[in-house]
Amino acid sequence: MSTIAAHAVHECCGGTMGFYAHRSTETGSEMRLAVFVPPQARQRRVPSLYFLAGLTCTEETFMIKADAQRFAATHGLLLVACDTSPRRLGPPWDHYAGEGFYVDATVEPWARHYRMYSYITRELPDLIEQHFPVIQNRRGIFGHSMGGHGALVAALRNPDRYSSVSAFAPIANPIESAWGKRAFKALLGAETTAWRGYDASLLMRKQAFPRAILIDQGTSDEFLEDQLRPETLEAAANVSNQLLMMRKQSGYGHSYWFIKSFIADHIEWHASQLMA
């Protein structure tokens, strides 16, 4: 069994809010994570819901800023947030710390450690299911910005591993955004064929996720047109007949104030599918 070390565990919303570290075999480094265990887990196993954060964030950001624990406690969901990269090895290029983009790097020297796709879809769920009272194969996934991209890609590529998926302001078409191009070139190389497997809009065109997808996008998001491109997901959904609920929230930007405003809806969305 993989080992996990608790750095701090606090009482929170009737459950516990814990911060942990473990040695990852995928990244070959220490990875940190945050886990909220709801009060229902004292009596029974519960579904798990994974949040993927965006650029510059850590495993703490969502748990501190989103106010998600009170809603997860109401619905009996265990929340998991991990760091966005093997941060303690340093960023792979001189831009944002934590810019792992949830891909498995193929370019040296990053290929050994920047394996965030395999980490979030395989190693992390296995770790959580070994150490916490969760129902195996009852997983949901969601995220924000770069993490919204990661959540959509993880679910679309692994519909057998996730029962629900949603996103806040995801980078929907990264092969056409400056953020995505920079990260993919650094981690996956200049040949763009390899990039296509990590683009949610292209994946959705090929095959729909078997359940509906919820996306919230602020209309005043400063990155809306140049980086996020949500219209590409709407076009892809029309091709594959994906059930897509794209909610355009008037006046909202890209910050955690946006996430905080609609987190209750997302937790309820996942609970309705994870409890079904």
| 61: nearest Cα among 151, 187, 153, 145 | 145
Residue-level pLDDT at 123: 98
Q: Which of 145, 164, 177, 201 is catalytic?
A: 145
Each residue's pLDDT tens digit, 84-141: 998 766 555 545 556 899 999 999 888 999 999 999 999 999 999 999 999 998 999 9
pTM value is 0.97
Burial of 11 (C-beta count, 10 Å sphere; 0-12/13-18/19+) = exposed
CATH number at residue 217: 3.40.50.1820
Would you say residue 156 has pLDDT above 70?
yes
| From 75, 144, 254, 270, the catalytic residue | 254
pLDDT at 86: 87
Looking at every residue in the chain, the average pLDDT score rounds to 95
Side by side, the strands of the sheet bearing 213-218 are 5-12, 15-24, 29-37, 78-82, 46-52, 134-144, 164-168, 213-218, 244-249
Q: How many domains would you assign to the chain?
A: 1
* Residue 77 in this model has a pLDDT that exceeds 90: yes
Distance CA 47, CA 52 (A): 17
Is 221 a catalytic site residue? yes
Domain containing 178 equals: 5-274
The pLDDT of residue 187: 92
* β-strand pairing of 29-37 with 78-82: antiparallel
Active-site choice (104, 199, 216, 221): 221
199 is catalytic: no
Task: Please state the rounded mean pLDDT for residues 50-75.
Answer: 97
